[in-house]
Structure 1
């Protein structure tokens, strides 16, 4: 994944520097899909018009995973992926603040005065009409508007239609990925679903079959992994793009006991252990299945590769 210099990132609100003023939005921005992008574009446009800095304030871990520990929270984007996507909107600053129960106890007044006003020096905030904040989420958009009048910043509401579109999009993206539907996910994201991670040592079974694979460890444990099966993917490594075919599953043919993510790159022979890869899911080829022999598995892999190569050949130039 290329390094993009425009976006400045901070791992704590305390690290944010003094500025002449900011236009800010806050939220989880998980996946940074088309609905989110509309909000980010509003932030950048407003900041340019007002001659101010644009800021996105988000949190890690996801607040729901801290406050609702009984339900696992799987993310559409890790921090690095989120940063990469947010910078595309021309945002100046991304603040990823640690979220914990202590932070959740901050009162609405303290959040506005100590963080929004004193730390970020906000002149405008763009926020959802249904956004609630402060201890026990007791404050709403009307309270924020009142604070804006008191401290001299504008409050712009994101419409109900836009907020609903964001919620619906996130839900549909998750359901699509759980069903292996890369096309629907891409339609709502505005880009292919991405999975980043580090190449780790596997059992090297692919080498014995003539199809060496890179075994990927996802960038974070909470990352949503699509449905088991075989996919056509585009892979970025060292700022270069490669075509490939990916298998997600438990490798039933060889009595696998754990889920793995293994990608075979076409026309590629380099050793890339410990390297960072970024995969784009383009289309689903087939379900995971158990074969009677390694020869049968090898024959199917040959067919998978042929299908994947045909997919790339048929893409518009």
Structure 2
């Protein structure tokens, strides 16, 4: 898959079939649409292209700092690379771009820059300034500019919307198992390991403190989870705590992972951690000893679960 940071740099020598969207999560509903895109490109000797935008339009137009996405942009790229897609165009979304009329958008983006011959799009797709044009308008522009428009069925689009909603709800409820079923892969957190208070060492459970720079990344419900990560070409399992560490009077949320049977120095490394199963809620214990006992129980449960899936 070739990746472009804006449509201006796209290599448009070969005509394309294009679909447009956020594709947050790149879940099983999205993958059905992407398969349709890739198949159409192969059958017609065209290049398959996903046109997406970053930052999310709501971040730009509404200054929505509360928006939470299933994937960071880098995670989205990583997942799309496995779909068979030829090209991913991530065009910067700006206020100036949002002011393009529908005609300007079609002519400049789709026709001139992407050399489009076929567009696969949802029945409810809106585009142009103030999102005032729809799929009927797009088909009309297609007749004028020699490209065809194929509608993704209402059922497929609704399934995508339902899946995205259910995934976000599941993550906020801590139901990682359900989220992973809808995603078709394990939900992941990606960030850099930074130094924390190193309280885990005093409990004989040293932890890697994950810092995620993207504040739009959705973080699952507080609690303890079974996780895994690829570190130095080794699959490492462990348990993660998302929360404020109330037993030791923590004041802010952290994401801390204790990896079993691993002795890597992870400080300042960027790692990706996959979340497999939730163990329990975060809890304030009466003493540090009670906390340590609970962590031992968490470890026993985790190891049993890991052995059951290996």
Partner of 2:14: 20
Partner residue, 2:122: 128
Q: Does 1:185 align with 2:179?
A: yes
Please point out which of 119, 137, 145 is paired with 1:143.
137
Asked if the contact 1:182/1:193 (under 8 Å) is kept, the reply is yes
Aligned to 1:37: 31
* Structure 2 unmatched ranges of 5 or more: none
Distance 1:231 1:162, change over 3 A: same
- Partner Cα separation in structure 1 for residue 252 and residue 103 of structure 2: 48
| Match for residue 302 of structure 2 among 300, 308, 312 | 308
Shift of 1:239: 4.3
1:74 equivalenced with 2:68 (yes/no):
yes
Structure 2 residue 106 is matched with structure 1 residue 105: no
Q: For residues 269 and 71 of structure 1, do their structure 2 counterparts lie closer, same or farther at Cα, with a shift above 3 Å needed?
A: closer
Q: Which residue of 1 aligns with 2:282?
A: 288
Map 1:268-279 to 2 at 5 A. 268-279=262-273
Q: CA–CA distance in 1 between the matches of 2:212 and 2:75?
A: 11
Q: In the alignment, is residue 229 of structure 1 matched against residue 220 of structure 2?
A: no
Aligned length: 310
Structure 1 stretches of 4+ moved >4 Å:
none
Cα displacement (A) at 1:224: 0.2
Whether 2:146 is the aligned partner of 1:152: answer yes
- How big is the alpha-carbon RMSD for the aligned residues of Structure 1 and Structure 2? 1.2
Structure 2 match to 1:3: none
Shift of 1:70: 5.2
Q: Secondary structure at the match of 1:215?
A: strand
Aligned to 2:43: 49
Q: What is the CA-CA distance between 1:157 and the residue it aligns to?
A: 0.5
Q: Which residue of 2 aligns with 1:254?
A: 248
Asked if the contact 1:19–1:53 (Cα under 8 Å) also holds between the matched residues in 2, the reply is no
TM-score by length of 1: 0.95
Structure 1 gap segments, 5+ residues each:
1-6
- Structure 1 Cα separation of the partners of residues 136 and 108 of structure 2: 19
* Alpha-carbon distance between aligned partners in 1 of 2:297 and 2:226, rounded to the nearest angstrom: 12
Q: Is the 8 A contact 1:12 1:97 kept in 2?
A: yes
**Aligned residue for 2:80?**
86
TM-score (norm 2): 0.97
1:244 equivalent to 2:241? Answer no
* 3-state DSSP of counterpart to 1:288: coil
Question: How far apart are residue 275 of structure 1 and its match?
Answer: 1.1
Query: 1:171 aligned to 147, 165, 175, which one?
Result: 165
Deviation, 1:71, is 6.6
CA contact (8 A) 1:78 1:219 kept: no
